[in-house]
Amino acid sequence: MPASLGCFFNPKSVAVIGASRDPQKPGHVILKNLIENKRAGRLKAEIYPVNPHAERILGLKAYSSIKVVPADVECAVVVVPAHLVPDVLDECGEKGVKAAIVISSGFSEIGNVRLEERLLITAKKYGIRVIGPNCLGIYDAYTGLDTIFLPYFKELRGGRRLISAPRPPKGPISMITQSGALGNAALDYMSGEGIGISKFVSYGNKVDVDESDLIEYLNEDESTKVIIMYVENISDGRKFMKVARKVSARKPIVVLKAGRTQAGARAAASHTAALAGSDVIYEAAFKQCGVIRVYDMEEMFDVSKALAYQPPARGRRVAILTDGGGAGVLAADMCELLGLEVTDLSERTKVEFERLKKQGILAEFAVTSNPIDLTGSATTEMYEESLELLLEDPKVDGVVLIALHHVPGIPDIEDFVTRLASIVKQHRKPVTVCVIGGSEAAMFLRRGFEEKGVPAYVSPERAVRAFKALVMHGEYLRRAKS
C-alpha cells in the first residue's frame, strides 16, 4: 500500500486537467505554482496543462486531452466541474495515469453520492489511486509538488503584494486533513511560527485514499518525524487502529478530532459528508493505539513541536526551573492537573544546590526545592548550573524551563540560548521552554531555542501540555515493547 502512493508526492510528470488562462481560476493558480517551483529548481516533474480551449497557458503548450500528451503522465491534478470528473478519469486510465488528485467539489458533501460512486468505479477500473474529491490537494516541501489552488500573494492597490497563503519551510512534521480551509490555515500558522513541514495532504471526501493509507505511507517517509491529523470521521475504524498501532510505535501521531458535539457532528456531515460517530469511542480507540489526541489547533502544534524536537519522556516526574515564582506556580498547577508529578529531588541534587549557594553561584534566597526559583537575581550561569543538576537527577524525567529574560543578570540572550540548548542536547531527557512575552527579545529567544531543537512556548501552561505529550508517547512506546 505505501509504495502505491509515491506518485502523489514525487511524480516524474504531472498534468493539470482544467488548467486555465484566468488568474482567478484554481486551474491557473495550481499550474502557476507548479511552474514557479520547477523554475526555482524545487520540482523535477514535467508539467502538462490540459485545456481543450487553449493552445498555450503560462508559456506551456496546452493539450486538448490528457490522451494526446506526447509522454507518460504519472499524476493528474483534476480541477474541472464535478460532472466531468468520471469521464476525465476514464481518459486518465486509458493514458496509464497512476494517481489523481481531484480538487473538484460537488460530490457527496452536497448529497451527490451517485456521482462520487461513478468516480470511484472508474478509478478502480484502471487502478488509479485517488485523493479527494473536494480537497485542497498536496504540498511536499522536499519535492516541490504543490497542488494547492490558493495563490501565494494578494495584490494591494499601488502594486504592493502581501503573502497570503504561505508554504512553510522544510521540516519534520507532516499533516493530513479532511478540511482544506483548515489545512491552509494550519500552513499559514506553521509558516508564521517557523515550524517546518515535510508533507501536507488535504484529502477531502476520501473516496479512495484515506487517513490510514496516508499514515502508513508517512511511516516510511524519512523526512517525517511526526504526523498530525485533522479528522471529522474515520470510516474504517479497524483498519485505522491496526495501522495507527504500528505507526505510533515508530512515529508519534497527533489527532485533532472535530465533531465532538452534536452541533459539530452536524457541521461535519454538511462539510465532507462525514458521519462523526460517538466521541467516547474515538477517545478510547485513540488511547488503545497510541494516538495523542488534542482539542484545538494551538495544542496540536504545541504538541507536534515537542514530539518532533525532543525525546519521549521515561516517566511523569517533572522538574520546573524558573526565575519567577508565579510562573513556576502556574506550571506546577498545570502539571498536577494533567497527571504529571512535580517530583521531589534526589538527596545528591539537594546537596549540590546547597553547595552552589555556599559558593555564591546561586543566590542565598533562591528556592531549590521543586519548582526551583532562581528569583530576579538569576544569571545565565545560575540557569546553566541548575539545569545540568536537574537533568542529571535520576528522580527527574524531564524539565519545564521558564525563562523570564527581563532580569538584568541575563544581558546576552543569544549566549543564554546557546548555553542552555547545549546542555539539553547532552542529555536524553526532554525539555520544554516557556518564554513569556511578545517583545522582540521574547520572540528571539523562542525562535532561538527552536532552531536548536528545544520547543518554546509563550505560557507555562502550554509548555506543560507539550511535555505531557512526550510522557504519553513514552508510555505507549514502553507498552508496545512489552
Per-residue pLDDT of the chain (482 residues), as tens digits, is 445 899 999 999 999 999 999 999 999 999 999 999 999 999 999 999 999 999 999 999 999 999 999 999 999 999 999 999 999 999 999 999 999 999 999 999 999 999 999 999 999 999 999 999 999 999 999 999 999 998 888 777 777 888 878 899 999 999 999 999 999 999 999 999 999 999 999 999 999 999 999 999 999 999 999 999 999 999 899 999 999 999 999 999 999 998 765 654 555 444 444 445 578 899 999 999 999 999 999 999 999 999 999 999 999 999 999 999 999 999 999 999 999 999 999 999 999 999 999 999 999 999 999 999 999 999 999 999 999 999 999 999 999 999 998 999 999 999 999 999 999 999 999 999 999 999 999 999 999 999 999 999 999 999 999 999 999 999 999 999 87
* Cα angle 53, 57, 58; round to 5: 165
Q: Copy the grid coordinates of residue 412.
A: 546576552
Residue 142 burial (CB < 10 Å; 0-12/13-18/19+)? Answer: middle
Q: What are the helix and strand counts (H, E) for the chain? A: 16, 21
In which residue are the cell numbers 489523481 written?
100
Q: Where are the beta strands (DSSP E) in 207-280?
A: 226-231, 253-257
E strand intervals along 423-466: 431-434, 456-457
Within 10 angstroms of residue 441's Cβ, the number of other Cβ atoms is: 14
User: Residue 164: helix, strand or coil by DSSP?
Assistant: coil
Query: Amino acid identity of 292?
Result: I
- CA-to-CA distance for 128 and 110, rounded, in angstroms? 24
Tell whether omega for the bond before 371 is within 30 degrees of 0, i.e. cis: yes
Q: Which residues share a beta bridge with 76?
A: 15, 100
Tell which residue, 328, 325, 323, 324, has the closest CA to residue 460. 328
